[in-house]
Amino acid sequence: MPAPSSAERAAARPARPARPVRPVRRIAVISGGTSAEHDVSVASAAAVEAALARIGVEAVRLRIERDGCWSIRGRQLGPSPAAGLAAALELLADCDAVYPMIHGAPGEDGALAALATLAGIRLIGSPLTASAVTMDKELTKLVAAANGVDVAPGRCYGAAELDAGIPFVRTVVVKPATAGSSHGVRLARTAAEFAAAIAEARRFDDRVLVEQPVAGREIDVAVVRAADGRLLVPPPLEIHGEGVFDSATKYDGSARFTVPAALDDATTRRLEEAARALFETLGCDAIARVDFFVTPDGRLVLNEINTIPGMTSHSQVPRMFAAAGVSYEELIARVVGVR
């Protein structure tokens, strides 16, 4: 008898129960961070904070500055990261929940999830293990492949191998193993481009993923676990652009999005089922964006999973929910449990 697929295993699990009913009045939104995604994180957090205000929830605006020190509304909380963290924990103690909005590591990799857990504060986001695994593109691929989800052929190289030099063989996509927002992602067609791509990726991580390019349409699927335990999946979104969807394309306005993506019903269902299954298998919570390629022969190939996706009004996840008739405020209300 064949082993059940990840979708079948996910479907067999009982629905996760609703979170304990407790009034949500103050939520600490943590943004910034020391990674290259600092500015994007601040923009996402500002949108979340504004939405919380509109649904009657106070946002405690904590930020980790580029040097690692903590601040609140522009006021530094201590002379060092450790002193600032101690002061931030005192502020967190008076909050009903913490909503991490830091993109990249440290933060999105489970560091803030662990902090909330140790402090005994409700986390609006994925727990430590899910955050750590999904932040690491190589680990994500291993889990996905083990659960029957196709991934791009490739290999992850560590610092020692990179120092020794990797020969160029064919056209490849080079990316840091853990960076987000497509930072450090390049397509290399020649040996010179390959060397430059490795050097660029190493600016963000000592581990570099080298993959065979996947020819196909880039399709994003959002999965949200509402506070009542239900999984919500809006229509998928297609990214249109030339070449690799790198950080420049993502933020210079040249990328185009279509939502709902022009897909047949069967492909849409397969994408939704695969995204839900990966969300459950990895133990994700709150919001995740699951990015796929759909190849000309209909295969679904996982690209990556983002457990703290961009949340500005023009980011992919809010766009997908808007296409389903769910406003930004309603989306945030469902996630945090405000009715």
- 241-293 pLDDT, tens digit each: 765 544 455 544 567 899 999 999 999 999 999 999 999 999 999 999 999 99
Residue 15 lies in a domain: no
Q: Which of 7-11, 97-101, 184-188 has the lowest mean pLDDT?
A: 7-11
Tell me: do 250 and 272 sit in the same domain: yes
Give the mean model confidence (pLDDT) for residues 174-186. Answer: 83
Tell me: do 174 and 201 sit in the same domain: yes
Tell me: do 163 and 243 sit in the same domain: no
Cβ–Cβ under 8 Å, residues 89 and 119 = yes
Residue 20 lies in a domain: no
Question: In degrees, to the nearest 5, what angle opens at C-alpha 149 toward C-alphas 146 and 152?
Answer: 100
With b for 16 or more beta-carbon neighbours within 10 A and e for fewer, the 179-201 pattern comes to: bbbbbbbbebeeeebbeebbebb
Q: CA-to-CA distance for 247 and 243, rounded, in angstroms?
A: 12
Give residue 287's Cα distance to chain centre. 8
pLDDT in tens, 19-73: 544 678 999 999 999 998 999 999 999 999 999 999 999 999 999 999 999 999 9
Residue 17 lies in a domain: no
Give the mean model confidence (pLDDT) for residues 161-188. Answer: 90
Q: CA-to-CA distance for 121 and 250, rounded, in angstroms?
A: 34
Tell me: do 309 and 325 sit in the same domain: yes
Dihedral angle of Cα 98, 101, 104, 109, to the nearest 10 degrees: 30
Which of 124, 141, 172 is the C-terminal boundary of a domain? 124
Which of 161, 183, 211 is the C-terminal boundary of a domain? 211
Residue 161 lies in a domain: yes
Q: How many residues does the chain have?
A: 339
CATH label of the domain that carries residue 305: 3.30.470.20
What separation in angstroms does the CA of 39 have from each of 48, 172, 288?
A: 14, 29, 20
Tell me: do 106 and 118 sit in the same domain: yes
This prediction's pTM: 0.88
Question: In degrees, to the nearest 5, what angle opens at C-alpha 124 toward C-alphas 301 and 114?
Answer: 90
Residue 83 lies in a domain: yes
Residue 11 confidence class, pLDDT cut points 50, 70, 90: very low
Amino acid 308 reads: I
Amino acid 1: pLDDT = 41
Give the mean model confidence (pLDDT) for residues 95-115. Answer: 94
Amino acid 241: pLDDT = 76
Dihedrals phi, psi of 277, to nearest 5 degrees? -65, -45
Tell me: do 40 and 116 sit in the same domain: yes
Dihedrals phi, psi of 163, to nearest 5 degrees? -65, -35
Q: Of 122, 123, 320, which is closest to residue 232 (Cα–Cα)?
A: 320
- Whole domain around residue 297: which residue ranges? 132-150+214-336
Q: Facing residues of 288 across strands? A: 223
Give the mean model confidence (pLDDT) for residues 300-325. Answer: 95
Amino acid 152 reads: A
**81-92 vs 111-119: helix crossing angle, rounded to 10:** 50
Tell me: do 189 and 220 sit in the same domain: no
Q: Facing residues of 117 across strands? A: none
Q: Of 68, 220, 51, 34, which is closest to residue 124 (Cα–Cα)?
A: 51
CATH label of the domain that carries residue 187: 3.30.1490.20
Q: Facing residues of 217 across strands? A: 294
Q: CA-to-CA distance for 71 and 51, rounded, in angstroms?
A: 21
Which of 107, 124, 141 is the C-terminal boundary of a domain? 124
Residue 19 lies in a domain: no
Give the mean model confidence (pLDDT) for residues 310-332. Answer: 95
Tell me: do 278 and 203 sit in the same domain: no
Tell me: do 179 and 295 sit in the same domain: no
Cβ–Cβ under 8 Å, residues 131 and 125 = yes
Residue 236 lies in a domain: yes
Tell me: do 66 and 203 sit in the same domain: no
Cβ–Cβ under 8 Å, residues 23 and 307 = no
Residue 2 confidence class, pLDDT cut points 50, 70, 90: very low
Q: Which of 99-108, 137-146, 250-259, 287-296 has the lowest mean pLDDT?
A: 250-259
Tell me: do 284 and 145 sit in the same domain: yes
Tell me: do 76 and 112 sit in the same domain: yes
Residue 72 lies in a domain: yes
Cβ–Cβ under 8 Å, residues 91 and 28 = yes
Number of domains observed in the structure of the chain: 3
